[in-house]
Amino acid sequence: MTTKELYKIEIMKELGLLPEDSLKNVKLYIEFILNKSSKKPLKSVNLKGIWNGSGFEKVGNLDKEIKKMRKDISESILNKGNL
């Protein structure tokens, strides 16, 4: 017999000795443990097309625009230190 099976047998014997109101508490505790331990697998979501229609289509060369913005921001930050 496995340890799990032995625990089940011991618990079943001891449950028979408990008063009815205590059995309610045991049931609630078991439900709590089961809810806590049962982790539902994450559902994967396809994000393809999430930005469609948001205006990025109007930007001709997106990579070039991003590089330009990064350069402008960097220069702005560096110039603030020269005040």
Q: Are 56 and 62 spatial neighbours (Cβ–Cβ below 8 Å)? A: yes
| C-alpha to C-alpha distance for 11 and 23, rounded to whole angstroms | 12
* Domain range annotation of the chain: 3-37
Supply the pTM of this predicted model: 0.41
Structure tokens at 70: 């990064």
Q: Which residue type does 62 have?
A: L
Instruction: pLDDT tens for the chain, 83 residues: list them.
Output: 799 899 999 999 999 999 988 999 999 999 898 888 777 777 888 888 888 888 777 777 888 889 999 999 999 999 886 65
* CA 74 from centre of chain: 34
